[in-house]
Amino acid sequence: MKTQLVNRGSHISHAVRTSLVALGFSLCCLLGWSQNLIVNGDFENGNRGFGSAYHYSPGQLLDAGRYDVTDDPPDDNPAFARFGDHTSGSGRMMAVNGSTTANQTVWSETVTLDPNSTYGFAAWVASLTATSPAVLRFSINGQQLGQDFTAPGTTGNWVQFTGVYFSGAGGNVPVTIVDQNTVANGNDFALDDISLQKIPNPEPSTLVLFGTGFLGLARLLRNRISHPPNESS
C-alpha cells in the first residue's frame, strides 16, 4: 500500500513541510537571501546589542553567573580551554560561567517580526570545560525552539543549534537563551554567530527542485572524489 504524501493534491504532510522549511532556512543561510535580525550575533562589537541576567565580568569568570566577550577564554579563567571563535577563528565569542540560579537568561535580544511569517534561528555553542556541559533552552516570545540542547562533552568543538519559528501576529518579541544546568562545577560554555532570518515561502515544488539540485551536486562531487578521472600521460 502506497504512503500518500499529498492529500487532495494541495496539502503537503507535516513531516515533508518541516523538511522543506528546514531546507529553505539552509538555503537562506548559504545564499544570504535574508537579513540577520540579530544585532552583533558574532560578538565582534563586544558587549553591545544584547541583554543578559548574568553579570558582565571582563577578565574574571571564576564565579558562576558571569560572562565576558573575549577572543581568548583562558584570560577569563585559566581552567577554560583555549580555542578560536566560530566566525573566523580569531574573533570574539561570548564566554559564560553557568549560573547556579535556575532560569536566568544568559542572552536575550528583542527583534521585530513580520506577521504570519516563518523564521529560522541558529546559534553555535562550544564547551569551555568538559565537566557537566551546559543544557541550553532557546526560545522566541516564550515559545521553546526544539528540545533542550546539551553542549558538547569535549572542549573547543563548535556545534550548531537550529530551530524554526512561526511569527503569528508578529511585532516586537524577545529571543532568549537560558541555561537549564545549575551545577556549579563545570557548566562553562561559549556562544557565537547567533542568527534569526526570515525564510522565504516559495512553492514546495521550488524547494524540492533546489533540494534535488543540491543532492545531485553532492552525488556528483562524491563520485568525482571516489572515482577521479584518469589523467592522460
Q: Kindly tell me the burial class for residue 114, based on how many C-beta atoms sit within 10 Å of its own C-beta (0-12, 13-18, 19 or more).
A: exposed
**pLDDT tens per residue, range 18-54:** 444 455 555 555 445 579 999 999 999 999 999 999 9
Give the model's pLDDT for residue 124.
98
How far is Cα 84 from Cα 132, in angstroms, rounded to an integer? 21
Stretch 10-15: mean pLDDT: 42
| pLDDT of 9 over the 50 cut | no
Cell 543540491 found at: 214
| Domain locations in the chain as residue ranges | 35-198
- What helix, strand, coil percent values describe the chain, rounded to 5? 20, 35, 50
Question: Predicted confidence band at 8 (pLDDT cuts at 50, 70, 90)?
Answer: very low
Stretch 60-75: mean pLDDT: 98
How far is Cα 130 from Cα 155, in angstroms, rounded to an integer? 6
| pLDDT of 63 over the 70 cut | yes
User: Which segment of 69-73, 169-173, 216-220 scores lowest on mean pLDDT?
Assistant: 216-220
| pLDDT of 218 over the 70 cut | no
- Choose between 213 and 71: higher pLDDT: 71
**pLDDT tens per residue, range 182-210:** 999 999 999 999 999 999 875 555 555 55
Stretch 142-155: mean pLDDT: 98
Centre a 10 Å sphere on the Cβ of residue 126 and count the other Cβ atoms it contains. Answer: 26
Homologous superfamily of domain range 35-198: Galactose-binding domain-like (2.60.120.260)
Tell me the pLDDT of the chain averaged across its residues.
84
Cell 524547494 found at: 207
